[in-house]
Amino acid sequence: MKKRFVSVIVGCLFLLGGTVAFGSELIHTPVNPSFVGGNVFNGAYLLNSASMQNNHKEDVLQQTPLEQFKESLQRNLLYAVTSKLTQDMYGEGGFKPGHYSYAGMDVDVVGGTNGVTITIVDTANGGTTTVTVPNF
């Protein structure tokens, strides 16, 4: 009985030890096309899936054409003021600190060791904004 048990154990070990295991390396292929190696044809599918799952809605304010015109005019006016101020500050001879008044705004420009400090005061409501541009 003992001999038979030992021979069964030895036979099992022989069968287990004598078998050959086959396998290959695992290869990961990314799904997202943003990653190198990702399938470029998955981009539209992933974007549509994400869009369908998105429950957030952006609050869109509907503006009248008059409000759009007013906003555009204000943006263009501020651009013109900024261009004129930049031209006056950095025109011929380099940087010129000082006090400038444009379109109802008082602008004080002061140079310092940390950079240029620009203080903008809205004369209509008294609001103040300070911008510091560091030296490079």
Write down the H helix ranges in 63-102.
65-89
Q: What share of the chain is helix, strand, coil (3-state, %, to 5)?
A: 40, 20, 40
Are 103 and 77 spatial neighbours (Cβ–Cβ below 8 Å)? yes
Q: Is the pLDDT of residue 77 over 80?
A: no
Q: Using an 8 Å Cβ cutoff, are 82 and 91 in contact? A: no
Mean pLDDT of the chain: 78
pTM, entire model: 0.41
What digits encode the pLDDT tens for the residues 7-23? 777 666 666 665 666 77
127 token code pair: 């609001």
The answer to whether 118 touches 108, Cβ cutoff 8 Å, is: yes
CA angle at 63 for the pair 66 and 106, rounded to the nearest 5°:
65
Structure tokens at 121: 């005061």
89-130: per-residue pLDDT in tens? 676 766 677 887 776 788 888 887 878 888 888 888 888 988
Angle at 18 between CA 15 and CA 19, to 5 degrees: 90
